[in-house]
Amino acid sequence: MTEPAITPELVAKHNLTPEEYAHAVEILGRTPSYTELGIFSVMWSEHCSYKNTKPLLKTFPTKSPKILVGAGEENAGIIDIGDGIAIAFKIESHNHPSAVEPFQGATTGVGGIVRDIFTMGARPVCAVNSLRFGPITSDVGDDVRSLKSNSESQSLVTSAPTNKDEDAQLKNNRRLFAGVVSGIAHYGNCFGIPTVAGEVYFDKTYQGNPLVNAFCLGVLRHEQITRGAAKGVGNPVFYVGPATGRDGLAGAAFASQDLTEESTEQQRGAVQVGDPFMEKLVCEACLELLATGCVAGMQDMGAAGLTCSTCEMAARAGTGIEIELDKVPQRAPNMSSYEIMLSESQERMLIVVHKGREEEVKRIFDKWDLPWSEIGIITDTGHMKVRQGGKLVVDIPARKIADESPVYQREAVEPAYLKDVRAFRLDGISDTQNPAEDLKKLLAWPSIASKNWVYRQYDHQVRDGSVVLPGSDAAVIRIKTDSLPVMSAELAAKVGDPTVSEKLIAMTVDCNGGYVYLDPYEGAKIAVAEACRNLACSGALPLGATDNLNMPSPLKPELFWQIKESVRGLAEGCKAFNAPVTGGNCSLYNQSPAGPIDPTPTISVVGLIEKPEHVTTQWFKDEGDAIILLGDAVDQADPIFSLGGSAYLQVIHGKKNGSPPRCDLEVAKTLHTTLIGLIQSGLVKSAHDCSEGGLAVALAESCISQLIARDTPRLIGATIDLSSVGQASSRADGQTNDGSSVASPHRLDALLFGETQSRVVISCKALDAVKVVERAKLMGVPAVQIGKVGGDKLTAKTANGEFSTPLAELHDAWWNSIARVMD
């Protein structure tokens, strides 16, 4: 095949700047071949190189005595959980592919993150996901605002589509939502891994650019950690897995450019096709192979395919690698070196084997009926060399391409729209007139409503390790003996008794992109604090975090400012909660012709629960139990009483505006420490954090969120008295004429639906209520008993009156909202 001439136009099509191309020529000392140009394109894409975010990522806390494999070292981070056992976990995005082909984009997102885990030597034991889509209902006012960007200015604008346009958009959003959920369910269920937790948000900012973030966690012994390094000069290199096809060509480069209608159609071939049954075979074969001790290094062929695995493994080991493409199994005839090297066909692994042990590899992969081929050898040249048909088609220094990509210090300028955000006040925003109806509307809002329509499609109990299923603040899984990979004979002799003491791992994923849009620094801190608060409500202490920076273009100073401030907030939050970042993913250029997404720095935090009796769930347990609020009912120092960016303003008043609630990390940390202490002392029967929708939604969810069978809820009511709790002034400045901070009449919406941070609703035995309140106050946490459990209604008394709603109505609005739209 004749390769095209390397022209400036061809270079531009590969998303390389003239300066980057000149640097590539300097590295090679010559004009690159067409295949080499493609390699530079994918390896220097943002998806693979983080060239725009590396300086920011260095600010994350990444050290801890428990960290065995840290951020950036390998395909996933690994943390010690005691008794010689460790967990490997990571989160990654598949946003652009899911926008083009939602089912396949989501399936291959799950498959890719699962491979990142077992390539470390760990057995995957559970999955989590974080999803964002455009609205699937039209019941939120059109004044909900989003950031629009063009070359001249950035401002808050109002989207007002015609009814016909809106119907088409809603239909497409539902199609994307259904396709992604179906893809996640298909891959996880077929592979046999429980999907135990997640989150789903709906907002106009994600219309045309959905976010699909996939998390996986695996388990292994310390001695089973596998490195992705091409060690041992003379060692053979094996390709294992299905044949390489033309699917997924240059997918990493596609993920590093703006998403437009033209690029979507052109890049449909950049979306990979997944086969979960094949991945299950590859996983089991690789874990069995690792137990033989014949593996010197292993890495999956994920983003950038064969290109990334070869050069990265050589770069980590400081070696060279040579491969012969004629030996690579190929699904299509007459594939060029460009196509083979850049293909992202799924379920493929690259394995470096100790010389002389090749027959063990062949025996194991034949046993599992897997395609394999010995395609290369490790050298001492430091170069990645690729041959096809006896011709050298690639010769690039491995470290230059893998580790020394261009790094940019982008300009950051605060966006002008934030001036309006900070100036927003509640003048002209009427207080709630019918809190019971407003509560039902909030519970039915898809971003708050039960996500059972989603998780009922997932098998969340396979492998029998799930302790707390989807539907509570955090998922909890049990790590037991059969969770671990098979041991080598040498390790088995060393370990002796293979049984292990069971461990309880909690995990959650969080981010309110609206908060981050309105204040990137504060919003990112809130994401970390809420994730850690969810763990505390489950009885867990944080071990570590993994993040997914879903961001717009770094090339516009106003948008890069959002990225920079978000990272600053994440870093401070992780430091405060001693949750070091073990790795993650940067997904930039998330924007469509309609504009950029809200910056969405998704954070997943993993924690450890010491004893089974400390596992705590969010729903109320028994009639007569006392209900206690930990934390301030209303932030009186906030001029808009934590209604900025709230679900209440969006759903009831159609406005996404105002500074989000303030997040004091010291206050949050004190709350978490106190809550964990109360749980460990046996005083807490339920715990649920207050987040979107505020106190009223948290109380309602505590009444209606328990399932006693697949479709059978257990509804248990509550009688609440807030008449003397957290009254907020109706004045915009929060002051009365005499300067005090409380005035009458009070803003009932701030009390019920404000989203003041660092609050948790707990329940305990009535006899323990005084003790719980006193202990909390001694620790410096505001605490007050606000009611008791019982009945078939949620009844709340306030200074403005009383309202009461049957639980059956609340549950119906919350449980069936998404299903009514999607089914």
| pLDDT at position 615 over 80 | yes
Mean pLDDT along residues 539-566: 97
pLDDT at 47: 86
CA distance to 143, 434, 546, per residue, from 62 (Å) = 41, 48, 10
Upper half-sphere CA count for residue 459 (Cβ side, 13 Å): 15
pLDDT reported for residue 154? 38
Q: What is the pLDDT of residue 549?
A: 97
Q: Whose CA is closest to 759, among 655, 688, 659, 674?
A: 688
Q: Looking at residue 148, what is its pLDDT? A: 43
Catalytic residues: 47, 94
Q: Are strands 391-397 and 801-806 parallel, antiparallel or unpaired?
A: unpaired
- Highest mean pLDDT (candidates 252-256, 268-272, 588-592): 588-592
Are 815 and 701 spatial neighbours (Cβ–Cβ below 8 Å)? Answer: no
pLDDT at 248 over 90: no
Q: What is the pLDDT of residues 76-112, one digit of tens each?
A: 999 999 999 999 999 999 999 999 999 999 999 999 9
**Average pLDDT of span 687-700:** 98
pLDDT band for position 741 (50/70/90)?
Answer: very low
Can you give the pLDDT at residue 270? Answer: 58
What pLDDT sits at residue 247?
A: 80
Is residue 143 scored above 60 in pLDDT?
A: no
| pLDDT value at 61 more than 80 | yes
pLDDT band at 731 (very low <50, low <70, confident <90, very high): very low
What is the Cα Rg of the chain in Å?
27
Choose among 577, 566, 630, 627: nearest CA to 605: 577
* For residues 238-262, average pLDDT: 71
Q: How confident is the model at residue 266 (pLDDT cuts 50, 70, 90)?
A: low
Answer whether 230's CB lies under 8 Å from 321's CB. Answer: yes
Whether the per-residue pLDDT at 303 is higher than 90: the answer is no
CA–centroid distance for 604 within its chain: 6
Return phi, psi of residue 14, to 5°. -90, 15
Residue 3 DSSP symbol = P
Q: What pLDDT, on a 0 to 100 scale, did the predictor assign at position 246?
A: 86
Could you tell me which residue, 494 or 744, shows the higher pLDDT? 494
pLDDT at 274: 87
First to last CA, the chain: 50
Q: What is the pLDDT of residue 794?
A: 98
> Average pLDDT, stretch 162-169?
82
pLDDT of residue 224: 96
Q: What is the pLDDT of residues 574-599, one digit of tens each?
A: 999 999 999 999 999 999 888 999 99
**pLDDT surpasses 70 at 259:** no
Res. 2 pLDDT band, cuts 50 70 90: confident
Mean pLDDT value across residues 65-75: 94
pLDDT at 130 over 50: yes
Closest CA to 758 of 553, 577, 533: 533
Q: Per-residue pLDDT averaged across 451-463, rounded?
A: 94
Say if residue 640's pLDDT is above 70.
yes
Helical (H) or strand (E) element with 375: strand 372-379
**743 pLDDT above the threshold of 90:** no
How far is Cα 191 from Cα 114, in angstroms, rounded to an integer? 10
130 backbone dihedrals φ, ψ, rounded to 5°: -130, 120
Residue owning tokens 């850049």: 342
DSSP string, 754-795: ---SS-EEEEE-GGGHHHHHHHHHHTT--EEEEEEE-SSEEE
Cβ(790)–Cβ(716) below 8 Å? yes
Tell me, what's the pLDDT at 716? 97
248 CB-contact burial (10 Å; exposed 0-12 / middle 13-18 / buried 19+): buried
Q: How confident is the model at residue 498 (pLDDT cuts 50, 70, 90)?
A: confident
Percent of the chain scored above 90 by pLDDT?
84
Mean pLDDT of the chain: 91
Least confident interval from 192-206, 241-255, 682-696, 707-721: 241-255
Query: Bridge partners of 605?
Result: 508, 545
- Which range among 261-265, 278-282, 291-295, 486-490 shows the weakest confidence by mean pLDDT? 261-265
- Angle 508-509-510 (CA atoms, 0-180°, nearest 5)? 125
Average pLDDT over residues 406-431: 96
pLDDT > 70: percent of the chain: 92
The C-alpha atoms of residue 508 and residue 473 are separated, in whole angstroms, by 7
Query: What distance in Å separates the CA atoms of residue 43 and residue 288, rounded to the nearest whole number?
Result: 31
Of the candidate ranges 521-525, 588-592, 651-655, 734-738, the one whose mean pLDDT is the lowest? 734-738
Pairing of strands 123-133, 195-202: parallel
Tokens of 592: 């469509």
